Amino acid sequence: MARFARAALQRYPARDFRPMSGLTMWMPSPLRPLALFVVATALTFAATAATPAHALVVGIADNKPDMFGDPRFTSAGIGTARLSVSWDALTSPWQTHQLDVWLEAARAARVEPLISFGHSTLDRRSLPTPERFLFEFRRFRARYPWVTTFATWNEANHCGEPTCHRPTLVAAYYRKLRRECRSCRILGAEVLDMPNMVSWVRSFRRHAREEPRYWGLHNYIDANRKRTTGTRRLLHAVKGQVWFTETGGIVRRTNPHRVTFPESAAHAAEATSFLFRRLVPLSRRVTRVYIYQWNVNAGPLTWDSALIGPTGRPRPSYKIVERVLVKQARRRAARSSSANPGHAPAPAPSR
């Protein structure tokens, strides 16, 4: 558009132009309205291109369906949630039932699901061929045709996953999903911010035969150590949008782990604040954030990063996420009001 504006102005010799008061632009008076329109359109286009392609979307990652019935979840205006499933979940009746319950609850709540495939719960180390993976994906799509957003593999570079040293195979899975459902949004892979992340992603990209438009990042280490290193490394390594598909502040871990940082509800709030204050603004390509997790059940746990504690009371991190959601709702309402000046803006979620 800017080139078109320059061409329109350069069609006429300088002797035919005369100055306009208060402007450093020259143009013939008969074409002044047209040229002003062209230039104004070009400037509007440039300003639009300089803004993020998508406003930030905040969702929840949690395999428990009870959050959809929580009034706080409903009033927060959360429009998307992530579910991690086994690649062969539909071969198991009890897993199929869990899928049915979660996805129907999400659908009833008008929440868009992000489905992330991962290791089998029946045989953790087994990996399907690309053809078998495609077969199971087709079964999933036939059962839930309204689900259109998928991540090829959950934490694919983590060596607790059988894909740790198999980026080529995960790239083959990705190609199968992309060819099967062109209308779907397919994340190349979800990776952890670990030392092997960039080398794993580079190998995946070489074998994917196309540049994925979406990536998933689980940047727990960055958020909880209050650093930006891992997130910056992935942003430099890929070109597509980067979704934080699992992230948040950790309250407590009892599982084996080598990465250390403070653990408490207060720490989780600080990490969550750092996430939105420092990690999200790193790039306009960061367009989605999925906080893990909504609530935690009473009893023995290996991992707790929930916004709602075991007694049902909100933790300090909940208040931080709530403020972000309220701010996003107000921005949406302001944009809607600007686009439709005759309509009253929608109210922000209740606090």
CB 2 within 8 A of CB 39: no
Contact 218, 247 (CB under 8 A): yes
Residue 6 has pLDDT above 50, yes or no: no
Residue-wise pLDDT tens digits, 202-248: 999 999 999 999 999 999 999 999 999 999 999 999 999 999 999 99
**Own/partner pairs for 258-266, CB < 8 Å, 24+ apart?**
259/221, 261/224, 261/225, 265/309, 265/315, 265/316, 265/317, 266/316
Q: What confidence score (pLDDT) does residue 22 get?
A: 33
Q: What is the mean pLDDT of residues 320-328?
A: 94
Lowest mean pLDDT among 142-151, 156-165, 169-178, 254-263: 254-263
Residue 149 pLDDT more than 80? yes
What pLDDT score was predicted for residue 202?
97
Answer yes or no: pTM beyond 0.75: yes
> Above 50 in pLDDT, residue 336?
yes
Q: For residue 159, give the nearest of 208, 196, 127 by alpha carbon.
A: 196
Tell me the pLDDT of the chain averaged across its residues: 85
Q: What tokens does 226 get?
A: 């209050």
Residue 173's pLDDT is what? Answer: 98
Return the pLDDT at 344.
Answer: 53
The rounded percent of the chain whose pLDDT value lies above 70 is 82
**Cα separation, 300 vs 8, whole angstroms:** 71
pLDDT at 347: 53
Please count the CA atoms within 13 angstroms of the CA of 298 that sit on its side-chain side: 4
Q: What is the mean pLDDT of residues 62-80?
A: 96
**24 has pLDDT over 60:** no
- Name the nearest CA neighbour of 139 among 169, 96, 94: 96
pLDDT, tens only, 162-210: 999 999 999 999 999 999 999 999 999 999 999 999 999 999 999 999 9
Contact 274, 289 (CB under 8 A): no
The contacts of residue 267 (CB under 8 Å, 6+ apart) are 224, 249, 250, 251, 261
**What residues contact residue 27 under an 8 Å CB cut-off, 6+ apart?**
9, 12, 17, 20, 35
Asked if pLDDT for residue 2 goes beyond 50, the answer is no
The separation between CA 186 and the C-alpha centre of its own chain, rounded to angstroms, equals: 11
pLDDT-based confidence at residue 349 (cuts at 50, 70, 90):
low
What single letter denotes the amino acid at residue 120?
S
pLDDT of residue 21: 31
Q: Which residue has the tokens 């991190």?
A: 317
Check if the beta carbon of residue 144 is closer than 8 Å to that of residue 130. Answer: no
Residue 31, pLDDT > 60, answer no
